[in-house]
Amino acid sequence: MGSSPRREGRSQEAIRTRTVGGPAQDYWQALLRGDQEVVAKILSDPQNNLSSNAVFDTSDLEEWKNYRFNIRRLRLWSLSYEQELTTPLLITASRGYTECLRLLLLRGADPGLAPGGRSALHQACAAARPACARLLLAFGADPQAGSEDGYKPLHLCKSPDSLECVQQLLQHGASVNSRTEEEGDTALHIAARHGLPRHVQLLLRCGAELEAENKEGQTPLNAACAQPHQPQDTDRYYQVCRLLVDSGACINAADRDRQRPLHLACKNSNAAVAELLLARGASVNVMTYGGSTALHHILQAAAYKLEQHPELVVRALLNHGAVRVWPGALLKVLRCCHSCPRLIEALINSYDRVRVSADWVGAVPAEVVQKYPRFYQSLFSLEHRPRSLQHLARCTLRTFLEGRLLLVLPQLHLPSALHRFLLLDFEDVLY
């Protein structure tokens, strides 16, 4: 084992940025501004006794607290004093001050110096500063350097703007399949988890292992499906999953909890990804260790994922042959999912009959009924009347074609309205 990068560069006393004055303070402020002229002037004056490899202690600087929070793991609170160290290279690389960075390197700054646990190359990649990463690599920075927390520079390329950093690292010999120490993630796991399709495409082209498993047993496809994301990011995660699937990723790969990609996509209510997996042969009714199916997962998550239209996931699962909820449990589903009436509609329409009782009325808050009066009035009225003949005919045909529904329907050349009706198209009313 080599020496820890955190210990490197401690032969000199760290400059306390809060208390220091004079040239050292001027040096610090110039670095924060990326003021190349001032930095050059200070380094050229031998009386200042300052070098391009100076180490600054930022432990008591308020302005750096958020920065440190983002780049370092949280520690348990301790009474002992612990230094937070940085260097001129780290400051300029993380802030994208390329010319100032070049000056420091030409003045002999060590590109591998990492007194705070990460090198300047780590910081440039984490901040998506490709010009700085290119410069550091040209001056001999190690593309495989490990940080104190077990990350290679490639593992810190987590934003869309960091694609060029990935290219530079791979061109300079970074291993595409190197792993993080604690999680066992490859760069492909990380790119998939952050919904970065261009990164995924590049890594696959450079030989990334498609079925590599991390310490949780997740493949990159599992990692992409498992990551919670905002509605506006849905398409990015779909593109990532599509790339992985088209490259041959195992659709039914299970992690340590026996969760498949479909289970994970349903937890996150990503209908596009769920449809993709189902179309490629994902097992719709396989269970996790906890005994949950994909349908269970989306029903449990629906109330928290309304903006991501969980009803689309439920409909897709039902149309691909998902085992329906036990009828006696529908009241419980109504209590949990009443804020998504279209989900209730798809589920109720998958049965030829449902026993609705007065308890169903009490399961839906009055404000929800007021928001969706037409739907809930039609639902509650099923207590006193049978379903329509049209609906019963739909159920009969769906039952007859069970397991073959999506395969046979296109061959029947039905009118589009009838085709949609058989596939549980939403009408916002029950009859």
Residue 320 lies in a domain: no
Q: Look at residues 147, 176, 201 and tell me which one is the last residue of a structural domain.
A: 147
Report the alpha-carbon distance of residue 285 to residue 157 in Å, rounded: 36
What is the pLDDT, as a whole number, of residue 7?
38
For the chain, give the mean pLDDT.
91
Establish if 180 belongs to a structural domain: no
Beta-carbon count within 10 A of 369 CB: 17
Query: Does the pLDDT at position 365 exceed 90?
Result: yes
Quick one: pLDDT at residue 129? 98
Does residue 147 surpass a pLDDT of 50? Answer: yes
Residue numbers of the domain that contains 76: 1-147
DSSP conformation letters of 155-220: GG--SGGGHHHHHHHHHTT--TT---TTT---HHHHHHHTT-HHHHHHHHHTT--TT---TT---H
Has residue 168 got a pLDDT over 90?
A: yes
DSSP 115-133: TTSS-HHHHHHHTT-HHHH
Whether residue 203 lies inside any domain: the answer is: no
pLDDT of residue 237 exceeding 70: yes
Which residues are paired to 415 by β-bridges?
none
Band of pLDDT at residue 403, cut at 50, 70 and 90: confident
114 within domain boundaries: yes
- Number of Cβ atoms within 10 Å of the Cβ of 427: 14
What is the DSSP pairing of strand 85-86 with strand 15-16? unpaired
Q: Give me the CATH number covering residue 53.
A: 1.25.40.20
The verdict on residue 330 lying in a domain is no
pLDDT at 215: 97
How many helices (H) and strands (E) in the chain?
24, 3
Given 147, 170, 192, which residue is the final one in a domain?
A: 147
Which of 147, 179, 203 represents a domain boundary (last residue)? 147
Q: If you average pLDDT over residues 277-292, what whole number do you get?
A: 96
**431 falls within a domain:** yes
- The proportion of the chain whose per-residue pLDDT surpasses 90, expressed as a percent, equals 86
Average pLDDT over residues 212-239: 97
Angle at the Cα of 418 from the Cα atoms of 417 and 419, rounded to 5 degrees: 90
- Residue 165 inside a domain? The answer is no
**Overall domain count for the chain:** 2
Report whether 317 contacts 294 (CB < 8 A).
yes
Q: Which ranges constitute the DSSP H helices of 363-388?
A: 366-371, 373-380
First to last CA, the chain: 71
- Give yes or no for residue 14 having a pLDDT over 90: no
Query: What's the predicted TM-score (pTM) here?
Result: 0.89
Coil, helix or strand at residue 398? helix
Query: Does residue 80 surpass a pLDDT of 80?
Result: no
Give, to the nearest 10 degrees, the angle between helix 130-138 and helix 88-95: 140
CB 96 within 8 A of CB 132: yes
Q: Report the share of the chain in percent with pLDDT over 70.
A: 91
Is 36 inside any structural domain? yes
* pLDDT reading at 185 higher than 80: yes
Measured from the Cβ of residue 73, the count of other Cβ atoms closer than 10 Å reads 10
